[in-house]
Amino acid sequence: MSILTGSVDPGCCPPGALLREPLTAAAAAQLAVALKALADPVRLQLFSAVASRAGGEACVCDIAAGVEVSQPTVSHHLKVLREAGLLTSQRRGSWVYYAVVPGALTRLAALLGVDAAAGAPA
């Protein structure tokens, strides 16, 4: 269950409402998981590598090349991002492709007071 995937009760924290009212304890706990996952420099780099690809999807073989950690460490960090509700994964042959969870960037932007469409503070 993740606030970023929209799988929480919609009455809890509808999109855009995060800036108009305080978070509930449950919503804050869920959001903290995502923010904690992004607080690691390697995970932030991996997440941005996926998010910046056309279609928001990338093969692990492409994103691992730009990070200076071992392949098992890359896999661990990608697992943390998946568990935090920020990425999905799909095996295609011998490779795994990662994609940004739809709406995850928009929800983070709303929390931070940024208009995701314009890229400017809300």
Instruction: Say how far apart CA 122 and CA 119 lie, in whole Å.
Output: 9
Beta bridge partners of 115: 120
In the chain the domains, ranked by start, together with CATH numbers, are: 17-121 (1.10.10.10)
Q: Residue 15: is its pLDDT beyond 80? A: no
Beta bridge partners of 99: 57, 88
CA nearest to 5, candidates 86, 80, 78: 86
Contacts of 75 (CB under 8 A, 6+ apart): 60
Please write the tens of the pLDDT for every residue from 36-95: 999 999 999 999 999 999 887 899 888 888 888 998 999 999 999 999 999 999 999 999
Predicted TM-score (pTM) above 0.85 = no
Q: What is the mean pLDDT of residues 8-15?
A: 48
CA nearest to 61, candidates 31, 88, 98: 98
